[in-house]
Every structure is written in structure tokens, then in C-alpha cells.
Amino acid sequence: MGNNESGFYAYASSPAEIGQTIEQAVSSSHSEVSTWKALDIPGHFISEKVLEGIDSCSFLVADISVLNFNVTYEIGYAIGKGKRVLLTKNRSIQEGSPSIREVGIFDTLGYKEYQNSSELSGFLNTAVPADPLSIPSKINIKSPVYLLEGMHKTDWATRIVSRIKKARYLFRSFDPNEQPRLSANDAINQVAQSHGIVVPLLSSTAVGFEVHNMRGAFIAGLADGMSKALCILQYEDYPVPLDYRDFVCMSYHPNDINEHIANFAGEVAEAFQQDVSIVTSNEDTFLQSIDLGSTSAENEMRTLESYYLKTDQFLKSLRGEANIVVGRKGSGKSAIFLQVRDRERNKKGNIVLDLKPDGYKLIKFKELILSFLEEGTFQHTIMAFWEYVLLLEICYKILEKDREQHKHDHTLYEPYRALADLYHADGYETEGDFSERMSSLMEKISTEYRSRHGDKTNVRLNASSLTEMLYCHDVRDLSKQVIEYMRQKEVCWLLFDNIDKGWPTSGLEHEDLLIIRALIDATKKIERQFGKSNVVVNTILFLRNDVYELLVKETSDRGKEASVLLDWTDPDLLRELVRLRIVSNNINGDDSFNSLWPKICVSHYSGEESSQYLIERSLMRPRFLLNLISQCKSFAINLNHDRILEEDIAKGLTAYSTDLLTDIGYEIHDVENNIDDVLYAFIGSKSTVKKGEIFSVLEEFGVDGQFFENIFELLLWYGFLGLNINGETKYIYDFNYSMQLMAGIIKKKGDAEYLINPAFWPALMIEET
């Protein structure tokens, strides 16, 4: 038994043994938490002795009153080793930073609160060691690496991703931009099905480092406990604890990452050659055996095909009838992106560009160019930049795909060699992934500008100056040779996803929309150029709903682009989405939803059919629905329930509600930069409110009156507020996402009543009125 910074851990063969020891030790101490039994550590690493103690025990008791790296790592390690874990929390101690709510993990694992030694020892004396958490044994051999990503895609983070790709490993990841919190069950499942885990730890100077590194500690502990290949990367020296520093790969320059990931890749390769022993229970329940897949399409690239719901929007995209796919976050845009990409690039004659620009790098580029150039020149520069990038990437894909084929096809050999010679021009960096190639090109443009114009502002460039600043190649010659080569191919696909991901939560500006407009114009120009030589080019740009709405408002020729709206309005479609995921687990017998759902979940909750209850709280978004079901499922499995019970739904909804509040808050802030955390203004509010009351709440929260109407519209648009019509609440999705229709009904009704969406009630502590 011992203590570690502000948390304690204890291991033994029975809870009563620890309970008696704690009561005796604490009663003779002047503090609530102290060191009861000294570890034998002279001449040993502290962490080494702690982990040896966990290895030899039956279960672990850990206190999480104040979260710290060491104890969090050891909790993960114990779970990975198949040990039963009992968590406690002293309610009399003020929660520090990071909080359990911010980190996640522990709210789904569950913990017992106490306020004195008597309560603590009483809980431990009566605790019954149940079975340890179930750990899946199936390895995802198609995507064998799991990566913990940070909120911001820095050069350091980009290099890590690039080197994993260079090692030719597909990876899954936790991305806080997609999911605000990490659940314990998701972390356990992701680590268990991996051969290798990469955990980058952020410097103490980075925004959000405390939350990120605490998640990293848990994931690293799980990986260590399950004997996975583990690469913990630390940027500079701090803040990893001293007793774990010897297990961490330090990096002071992006090039340091190359060596660390190379060593890690070798360990993953070794894991493929041997069977890794994982502790599992003897027999899983039906609920434990069901895998509903990931809530993020990027994490299920190789399994999505088996349960993908082929919607009309997907089929239109596949036929090349849509140039823009529009949808809210979590509506399935990335799923269409991946499905179109995988289907089309499997065809021998196709060239498919699956491009995901780093949003933050585009912002940096925009700020650099905007600070020096006049707007007319700025727009022309951005379009020329996109056109050049697209030509280079088409060329890159051709050279990559036909690297072997051209050697055996005399019709391709000479054109291929000529294209390769042209592509590898002096001054163009061809290494790394797309983000790194684009970044090096941006850096080259920046350097070229400063060498010519220094710090001059409002510069207007002529065509000749622009060409010299942007291009490393003869663009006309490059375009001509690429088109000529493509005449021997079938279709070229240009797929753009994540262009609006990673943009700062400071609201969208006119110049941000110019970047997108310039990209669309550049793709159209390439389509026309290639089309003159009968080469078919299909372009699909995937955009958030709010970004597209702003783009349309700023575009003079509205409706010119062929777009499809990927917003969900039919609950039965969402049920079918869930059913397909259940059926993919090789279910025998009746595979209808009505037959399968009762095996997973109770039929009713609070008098309502349970699937409808959950769907109504998902804001009609597939990712949110899967998140909610996953939260409920996690609680049920952790409490050894055979299926999701009412108490699991209650707990799952509380955890989900907090995540949802954060998610929708981010989305609102992305669009309106004059408000901060506006949803928190409704803490303790009535569930049913009128417009005047909403404005009063905003005023009390300190919001400037000039923003009231805009915020009110956003609350309706994001489904936070619903309109009461004859005793029935209608949300934006009930109006087919038409704000004009909803606004018209509100105007006609006059003094209408609004209901705060029940999905937000637990997080905002709202009671039904």
C-alpha cells in the first residue's frame, strides 16, 4: 500500500484486509490520506516496485480525489492485467485540474465517494470483488495501431502521424475534436484490439496538456498491462513524472520522432509474429460480445464496409452527381468519404486523391498571405495555390499507383519516366504525407515572398511575380503531361475532407470562406482542362452544414454547385444503422431490429420505448446516437449486467449529456465568435421557456444584447431549443432543417413556448417543469 502525489493505491487479496489497514492507519494519522506502509524502493525504480505489487495482487484500490499521472497509469495497468479495480473519491476534497468531467474515463468506470476514514474502510470491508472488466481478445490486424491525438494539429503532431503512415500502418485514434471525452470502455477496447499504441505527451506549455496527458497515462497503463508495443513520446522534458521518465521517448526536434517511430514499428511487426496473451473472462455475455463499431468513421476504415448504410446521398456521391456533401458534425460525411474512396481506388484505371488538409495550417497560410497582399491578389493567389497543389497531388498519385505497372507496360513506360522527371523538380519537397508536402510548399512561398518584398503590406502581384513566388515547376508543362497520362486512365477523383476541421474556435471569417471558394474554383478549372481531353474528373468536397450556409450567403451565383444534404430526419433509418452494426457480429436467427434490440437493452425507459427514447436525445445524428448507446453499454458491462438496464440508461445519459454540451458548445463557438460557453447560461433553468425568458437568461450571463437574436437562432438551429406546437415539441430536424420554415411558424404563433432539449437536462441540472 502506498501514496502517490495526491492519490493513493492499495493492493491485497481481499477488500477487508485493506479496509482494516486503512482504518487503523488513518485513525492514527493527522491527515485523511497518508502513507500506510512504505514500499521497499531503495535501489529500485518506484514505478517498477508499484507495478510488481499490482502484478502480485488480486485487485487494486485507487483513490482519484485529485487526479495525477502515476495513479491513473497504475489504474490502467491493473485493468490491462485483468485485475479488479475499486475506485474511491473523497467528496470533502476540492477537485483540482484536470477534473473527472473533463478527462472522462472514471465517470464510466464508476467510483465510491466517502468523506472520512470510517466511511472508506466501511466501503472496503463490505466490497465484494467481482469479475474484472472484460477485455476483447480480437486484434484489428487491418488497423493495428492506436494513437492518442491532441486538440491542436501542430507540426510535432503532424510528424507523428506522417511517420506512422510511412511505416505503412493504418491506425485508429482518439481525437478530442470529434469526441470531447474519452470513455474507459472505448479506451480498453481500442487498446485491446491493437498491436501497438502511440501516446504523445504534451509539454506543460501546451493548451489542454493536463487533460490530454491524463488520458495518455490511462491508455499507456492499459497498453503496458496488456503487453502491447508502446511508444510514449514527450515533447521536451516536462511534465512526465520522474519515476516514469525512463520509459518515455523524449523529442526536442521533429526529426527525433523518426527514430522513435521506427523502433516502435519494429516492435509492432514483432507482435504480428507472436500470439500476445490477453486475460479475458471465460465466457462473454451477448452484450459483451457485441461490437457496434467506432463512433468515428476514421477509426473503422476497414470494417465500415460490412455494416455501412447505403443512403441516397452516398449513391449520388458515388455516381459523381454531387460536388459538395453537406452535413453536421457526426452526420456521416467522413463515412461517405471513406466508402467512395475505397470503392473507386480499387478500380485499376482510377486515380483517387483522398486529401485531408490540416485546417490550422491553412489558417496560418491565410494569415501570412492576408497580412501582405491586397484582397484581389489574395483570392487569386489562393486559387493558383490550390490549382498547383492539385496538379502535384494528381501527379504524385499517378507515380505511386503505377510504380510497378509502368515497368511491364510499354505504353506507360516513357510517359511515366517523363512525368517522374518533371515532378521531382529542384526545390520541391516530395517526402512525407500530403499535409507535410503542402506545409513545405507554404513555407517555400512564405520565404520567397519575404526575400522579394520583406515586410511590405498591401502588395499587388502581377501574373509573372505570382508565378515565380508560387511554382517550383513549369505548370503548363506539368498540366499537359498529367492530362496526357490520364488519357490512358479512367476517372480521376478529387476528395476533400476535414478542410474545416481544426479551424480555431473564434468564428469563421470572410477570408476562411475565400479559401474554400478558391478550392472549389480550382477543382472546376481542372475539371474543364481535363474534360477537353475527355478525361473525367469528379470532385467531392465535404463541408460542415454551418460552413456551407455561410459560403452560400457569400456566393453571388448561389445553387451553382451540386450539393447533397446529409442530415437525418427518419428515426427508422437510425434504427437500421444500429441494426446493421449488430448483425455484423455474425448473429444467428431473426435479425430484425425488433428481435435484436431487446437482447441488448430493456424495452422501455420511463414508460417510453427505449430505442426511441435514445434516438430523440441524439439530435438525429448517427455519431451522437452511437455515443449514447456506447455510454449506456459501458455502464452495463462494467456493472456485470446482461443487457442495458434502466439504471445504465440513466448513468449513460448523464455522461453523454456532458459530452453533448461540450460538442454543441464548440460548434456554436465555431460560427459565432462573440459568445463564450453560452449553453452554460441555462444551468438550473426551467425546461420550458419563452423567448423573453431566454433573453433574460442570456442577459444575466453577461451576453451583450446585440447578440440575443443571433444566439436564439443558433440555439434553434443546433437543436438545443424546440418549438412547442399544440403540446408537441418540434426541433429543427422535424422541419427538415429549414430555418425559414421554423421561423415562419414562430412568427405566426407569436408568443411561443420553447423546450430545452432533454438531452441537455442532466448536464445543465434542469428539472422538468
User: What whole-number distance in Å separates Cα of residue 728 and Cα of residue 759?
Assistant: 16
Find out whether 170 and 142 touch, Cβ atoms under 8 Å: yes
Find out whether 139 and 114 touch, Cβ atoms under 8 Å: no
User: What whole-number distance in Å separates Cα of residue 136 and Cα of residue 189?
Assistant: 6
Find out whether 1 and 66 touch, Cβ atoms under 8 Å: no
Specify the range with the lowest mean pLDDT, choosing from 123-132, 301-310, 384-393. Answer: 123-132
State yes or no: pLDDT of 15 exceeds 50: no
- Give pLDDT tens digits for 583-593: 988 777 778 89
Q: What is the mean pLDDT of the chain?
A: 81
Categorize the per-residue pLDDT at 763 as very low, low, confident or very high, splitting at 50, 70 and 90.
Answer: very high
Q: 454 to each of 159, 451, 470, how far by Cα in Å?
A: 29, 6, 16
pLDDT, position 280: 43
- Give pLDDT tens digits for 596-640: 998 899 988 887 889 999 999 999 999 999 999 999 998 898 888
Higher pLDDT, 383 or 13: 383
Categorize the per-residue pLDDT at 728 as very low, low, confident or very high, splitting at 50, 70 and 90.
Answer: confident
Inter-axis angle of helices 434-453 and 155-166, to 10 degrees?
140
User: What whole-number distance in Å separates Cα of residue 395 and Cα of residue 485?
Assistant: 9
Specify the range with the lowest mean pLDDT, choosing from 85-94, 98-107, 292-301, 524-533. Answer: 292-301
Higher pLDDT, 33 or 481: 481
- Give pLDDT tens digits for 133-150: 778 777 888 888 999 988
- Give pLDDT tens digits for 315-348: 999 998 989 999 888 888 889 999 999 999 888 8
State yes or no: pLDDT of 88 exceeds 80: yes
State yes or no: pLDDT of 36 exceeds 50: no
pLDDT, position 41: 39
pLDDT, position 462: 62
Q: Which parts of 199-246 fold into alpha helices (H)?
A: 209-225
Burial (Cβ within 10 Å: 0-12, 13-18, ≥19) of residue 292: middle
State yes or no: pLDDT of 72 exceeds 80: yes
Higher pLDDT, 678 or 667: 678
Q: Span 397-426, mean pLDDT?
A: 86
State yes or no: pLDDT of 232 exceeds 70: yes
Q: How many residues does the chain have?
A: 769
User: What whole-number distance in Å separates Cα of residue 309 and Cα of residue 578?
Assistant: 9
Higher pLDDT, 727 or 9: 727
Find out whether 249 and 237 touch, Cβ atoms under 8 Å: no
Q: 305 to each of 136, 292, 464, how far by Cα in Å?
A: 21, 13, 48
Q: Span 238-256, mean pLDDT?
A: 72
pLDDT, position 715: 94
Q: 3-state class of 288 per DSSP?
A: helix
Q: Span 378-382, mean pLDDT?
A: 76
Cis peptide upstream of residue 239 (ω within 30 degrees of 0): yes
User: What whole-number distance in Å separates Cα of residue 682 and Cα of residue 363?
Assistant: 33
Question: If you search the block for the grid coordinates 480525489, which residue do you land on?
Answer: 65
User: What whole-number distance in Å separates Cα of residue 200 and Cα of residue 219?
Assistant: 11
- Give pLDDT tens digits for 644-658: 999 999 999 998 999
State yes or no: pLDDT of 755 exceeds 90: yes
And the C-alpha cell for 632? Answer: 449506456
pTM across the whole model: 0.72
pLDDT, position 40: 42
And the C-alpha cell for 563? Answer: 450539393
> Across 506-658, where does the E strand assignment appear?
536-544, 563-565, 604-605, 608-609
β-sheet with 84-90: strand ranges across: 2-4, 7-12, 59-63, 84-90, 112-114
Q: Which parts of 351-409 fold into alpha helices (H)?
A: 359-370, 375-401
pLDDT, position 204: 81
Helix (H) or strand (E) run with residue 492 in it: strand 491-496
Q: Which residues of 224-246 are buried (b: 16+ CB within 10 A; e: fewer)?
A: bbbebbbbbbbbeeebbbebbee
Q: Span 22-51, mean pLDDT?
A: 46
Q: Span 105-119, mean pLDDT?
A: 79
Specify the range with the lowest mean pLDDT, choosing from 176-185, 210-219, 396-405, 435-444. Answer: 435-444
The residues with which 605 forms a beta bridge, in sequence order, are 608
- Give pLDDT tens digits for 138-190: 788 888 899 998 888 787 888 888 888 877 788 888 888 777 778 888 888 88
And the C-alpha cell for 509? Answer: 471569417
